[in-house]
Copies of this chain bind each other. A is one copy, B any other.
Amino acid sequence: MYDVKVYVTYKDSVLDPQGEAVKGAVHRLGVREIEEIRIGKYFEIKVRKTNRPIEIVIEEICDKLLANVNMETYRYEIREEV
Contacts and interface: CB of A to CB of B under 8 A. Distances in A.
A68 to B, nearest CB: 14
Given A22-B66, A25-B65, A66-B22, A31 B57 contact: yes
B45 A37 contact: yes
Contacts of A66: 22
Interface string A8-50: 1100000000010010011001011111111111111111111
Q: How large is the interface on A (under 10, 10 to 19, 20 to 34, 35 or more residues)?
A: 35 or more
A47 B54 CA distance: 35
Nearest to A25: B65
Interface of A: 1, 7-9, 19, 22, 25-26, 29, 31-50, 52, 54, 57, 60-61, 64-66
